[in-house]
């Protein structure tokens, strides 16, 4: 007779994080909010996108990645984040739209907000810009459902992101922004696991020149080294505390 007081290794207990691991998690079939099986997914980077991409693929939702992030500074940082995302889209066989790097427009849009803190009004303007262009592209190409990978990052305010997404979708009749919480049911855990498995580039600031500045100010005030870009990859070295940034 088996000992029922001890779960078998193959079936982790309900509160065991192993249940949510990439290996063990049984992905539910997701229902889209408007019943469509096609989505234009705004993506900010591979680490944030991969878990969302996997979830959509498992639900057989036809997904096109829309990479539009003119906030990322400088250009070589933008390129490395984009190439990592292309790499994973190719692995899953997902279409990847490489949109404009109109950085000057981003600086114009956020002018006067240079000293705003992260999650403040500059970030609202930044999300608005990226989602408006995503929604416009979606409308022109027959999508009526959009979402973003930005919300999976624990560094972000999900209400702020959802508000921006819904506002952008409302510019087009019949368009929906999917406010699904990608962090839940172990999404945040799998995001890190997949990033390590794929050895994604590990960015250490949100993206804009101001977030790089503020990360360095914070690091210096806590006696730490400044950000050194383009050298860290998940899984290639031990992660130190809370350094990953999406």
Binding residues for ligand SF4, rule: CB under 6 A, are 71, 118, 122-123, 126, 206-208, 210-211
In angstroms, rounded to a whole number, what is the distance separating the alpha carbons of residues 125 and 109?
7
In angstroms, rounded to a whole number, what is the distance separating the alpha carbons of residues 152 and 52?
8
Closer CB to ligand SF4, residue 46 or residue 94? 46
Q: What is the DSSP letter of 168?
A: H
Closer CB to ligand SF4, residue 175 or residue 208? 208
Give me the least distance between CB of 152 and ligand SF4, in Å please.
14
The encoded tokens of residue 139 equal 């409308």
Closer CB to ligand SF4, residue 115 or residue 170? 115
Give me the least distance between CB of 201 and ligand SF4, in Å please.
16
Are 37 and 6 spatial neighbours (Cβ–Cβ below 8 Å)? Answer: no
Give me the least distance between CB of 179 and ligand SF4, in Å please.
18
Q: Which residues of 212-242 are buried (b: 16+ CB within 10 A; e: fewer)?
A: bebbbeebeeeeeeebeeeebebbeeeeeee
Give me the least distance between CB of 118 and ligand SF4, in Å please.
5
Give me the least distance between CB of 188 and ligand SF4, in Å please.
18
Q: CB-based burial of residue 90 (10 Å sphere; 0-12 exposed, 13-18 middle, 19+ buried)? A: exposed
Closer CB to ligand SF4, residue 79 or residue 95? 79
Closer CB to ligand SF4, residue 49 or residue 208? 208
């Amino acid at each position: 007779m088996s000992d029922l007081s001890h779960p078998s290794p193959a079936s982790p207990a309900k509160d065991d994080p192993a249940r949510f691991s990439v290996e063990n998690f049984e992905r539910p079939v997701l229902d889209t909010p408007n019943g469509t099986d096609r989505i234009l997914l705004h993506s900010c980077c591979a680490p944030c996108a991969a878990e969302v991409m996997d979830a959509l693929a498992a639900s057989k939702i036809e997904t096109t990645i829309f990479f539009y992030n003119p906030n990322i500074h400088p250009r070589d940082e933008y390129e490395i984040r984009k190439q990592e995302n292309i790499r994973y889209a190719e692995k899953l066989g997902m279409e990847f739209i490489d949109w404009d790097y109109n950085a000057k427009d981003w600086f114009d849009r956020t002018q006067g907000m240079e000293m705003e803190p992260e999650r403040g009004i500059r970030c609202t303007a930044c999300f608005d810009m990226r989602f408006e262009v995503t929604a416009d592209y979606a409308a022109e190409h027959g999508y009526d459902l959009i979402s973003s990978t930005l919300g999976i990052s624990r560094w972000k305010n999900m209400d702020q992101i959802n508000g921006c997404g819904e506002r952008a979708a409302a510019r087009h009749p019949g368009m929906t922004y999917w406010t699904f919480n990608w962090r839940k049911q172990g999404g945040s855990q799998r995001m890190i696991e997949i990033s390590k498995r794929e050895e994604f580039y590990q960015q250490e600031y949100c993206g804009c020149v101001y977030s790089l500045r503020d990360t360095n100010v914070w690091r210096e005030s806590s006696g730490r080294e400044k950000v050194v870009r383009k050298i860290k990859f998940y899984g290639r070295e031990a992660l130190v505390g809370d350094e990953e940034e999406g």
